[in-house]
Amino acid sequence: MRVVVLVSGGGTNLQALVDAAADPAYGVQIVAVGADRDGIEGLARAERAGIPTFVVRVRDHRDRVAWDVALAEEVLAFEPDLVVGAGFMKILGAAFLTRFDGRVVNTHPALLPSFPGAHGVADALAYGVRVTGCTAHFVDAGVDTGPIIAQRTVEVRDTDTEESLHDRIKVEERAMLVEVVGRLARESWTVDGRRVRVGVAG
């Protein structure tokens, strides 16, 4: 399965996918890594792995729709079967999503539908939940509202800061994302309403 990964930051989730994809039995080829900004470690990780990269910045486009279209065209050029948002911090609009109908996966550092958005870890900590975690989901037109593929839990400690909690979530998140992307590649899936079944071909 050809996969394009989108990143905005450090790219540790990307690295986990790159490492997994080194084994042909994993069933995934990461054909490109795209970003919405320059100079990030996520892009450097891709370059070190010999994976093509591209950057599409919002500020270089007249509006968000033009940016969506430009990003979609860059991604389409690599003919992916699946697009994975791995710490990609922009909302993908309809102009992007219609071109990749049901084939965009995102990972989020909270147990959706709780704590969507850009501050999932801080919001969960501030709310006082005792258990949080991470969610892999298909992307729809909402903010972190698409059908859920997998989730893993992480207990909140009394001593946690946003950073310490996020670090433990990311350990689970990397393993979850590697498992999810590999299974989607090898076993296919169906989506029935909100319910995702991996291993049941559509």
Residues assigned a catalytic role: 108
135 contacts ligand GAR (rule: CB under 6 A): no
Q: Which stretch binds ligand GAR (CB under 6 A): 3-11, 22-30, 45-53, 73-81?
A: 3-11
11 contacts ligand GAR (rule: CB under 6 A): yes
Q: Are 133 and 139 in contact (CB under 8 A)?
A: no
| Sites for ligand GAR among residues 52-111 (CB under 6 A) | 86-87, 89, 107-109
| Residue pointed to by tokens 């968000």 | 64
Kindly tell me which residue out of 1, 12, 181, 184 binds ligand GAR, with binding defined by CB under 6 A: 12
10 contacts ligand GAR (rule: CB under 6 A): yes
Q: Are 134 and 109 in contact (CB under 8 A)?
A: yes
Which phi and psi (to 5°) does residue 129 adopt? Answer: -65, 150
Bridge partners, residue 134, by sequence: 152
Cis geometry, peptide bond prior to residue 113 (ω within 30 degrees of 0): yes
Binding residues for ligand GAR (CB under 6 A): 7, 9-14, 42, 86-87, 89, 107-109, 118, 120, 170, 173
